[in-house]
Each structure stands twice: as structure tokens, then as C-alpha cells.
Amino acid sequence: MWILRDHQAETIHDAVHRAQEYIFARPAGKVAIRLDTPRHDLQARIRWWLGPLVPPRDPELVVLVRGDDGVYKKQEVTHPNRREPPPEE
């Protein structure tokens, strides 16, 4: 929990900057796995432009692997011939 002396933009930007420095200085692990919605492709731009006229986009599985230099790089995720049985009731 953080307690800030005020709610000015400069104070909030400073708090965010300090939090980012703290997180980047102390990486959690070698692999980061999360569900993320792509934001930098053509479909994302079209969806942003159309706004609420289209349904939300499904997230995709993103796997990031931290190298020896401390930089995370995106790892390709594949599911070759994956077949899951239907859930049993």
C-alpha cells in the first residue's frame, strides 16, 4: 500500500516511475506467462476506431523468457495436434 502526500499529476507520475524501477530492478523469474490482448496490430487499430460497435477481442497466451541480459523476449506458443477430451459431467 502506498500513501501519497497529494494527488497531483507530478506525484503520481513519480510514484509510477519508482514502481517501474523497482519492478525492473528485481525480476520475478525467468519465465512470464500471461493472457494478453494484442494492441499493436491492424485488427487492434480497427477495433479501437470502431469502439463499442464490435465485441471485445479474445486474449492470447503470451510467454516471455528472460535472457542472460535481463531482457524479456517473446517465445512462440504452439499447440501441435492438440485435442482435449470434453469435460465429464
**Residue pLDDT, tens place only, 1-14:** 677 778 888 888 88
CA distances from 13 to 6, 17, 67 (A): 12, 6, 29
**Distance between CA atoms of residues 40 and 42, nearest Å:** 7
Cβ–Cβ < 8 Å for 75, 64: yes
Instruction: Give the pLDDT confidence score for residue 56 in this predicted structure.
Output: 81
pTM, entire model = 0.47
Domain boundaries, the chain: 29-83
**Distance between CA atoms of residues 36 and 15, nearest Å:** 25
Mean pLDDT is lowest, of 21-30, 35-44, 69-78, for 21-30
Residue 78 scores a pLDDT above 80: no
CA distances from 80 to 34, 58, 76, 83, 84 (A): 20, 20, 12, 9, 12
User: Which of residues 71 and 1 earns the better pLDDT score?
Assistant: 71
